[in-house]
Amino acid sequence: MNRIGIFICALVLVFGFSLGAQGAQSTAAAPTVAATALRQKAMNLLEEMGTRKILEQNIEAMIENGREKLVQEHPGLDQAFVDEWSRRMHERVNIDDFLNVVVSIYEQHFSADELDALSRMYRDLAQNKTPQVPEALRQKLNDEIPDIQAEMGAGLMQLSEKIGGEVTQSIAADHPEYLRTTQQPAEAPKDQPQK
């Protein structure tokens, strides 16, 4: 694979999650040393990729999309509810929660050595060097990118919806007056008197 092909694979890996899946997270009480090391290598890769910055740049759009969806699905919803929802989403969203989704997916798909190789690839690209990526890893990237993208999209969307639902419930509990709608129900047709 030439340098451009590697760069395209890198871009797909970076931007694949912007489609919006939370990978299964380990339920073990205490992670093993190997699991902790793998997690750190995945986090290092995300740092090399600039994932935190990308997520930070996309959070505002995510909240605005959620706001628009809220208005679209509930057209008569009190504007105070919509405004409060947006404000609380900004307070509640934690980039680390989204990073954890992405890290979990990389942990599932790549070994520690593969994560190290991907980190080197991003460092090389950042330094305008031609990355040296093992052929087996190149093939794995080509084969698994669609699954990785789908998992990231679904996981990030699931997390976004979870946070949005929690915020919605907390506003409903704190401000039941916001649940009134601004649209009046349509009048029922009056029966015509019989002559």
Domain boundaries, the chain: 3-18+33-179
> How confident is the model at residue 152, as a pLDDT?
94
Residue pLDDT, tens place only, 6-38: 333 333 333 333 333 333 344 445 678 888 999
Residue pLDDT, tens place only, 33-86: 888 999 999 999 999 999 999 999 999 998 999 899 989 998 888 999 999 999
> How confident is the model at residue 3, as a pLDDT?
39
- The pLDDT mean for the chain works out to 82
3-class state of residue 187 by DSSP: coil
DSSP 108-167: HH--HHHHHHHHHHHHHHHTTPPP---HHHHHHHHHHHHHHHHHHHHHHHHHHHHHHHHH
Task: Please state the rounded mean pLDDT for residues 171-189.
Answer: 71
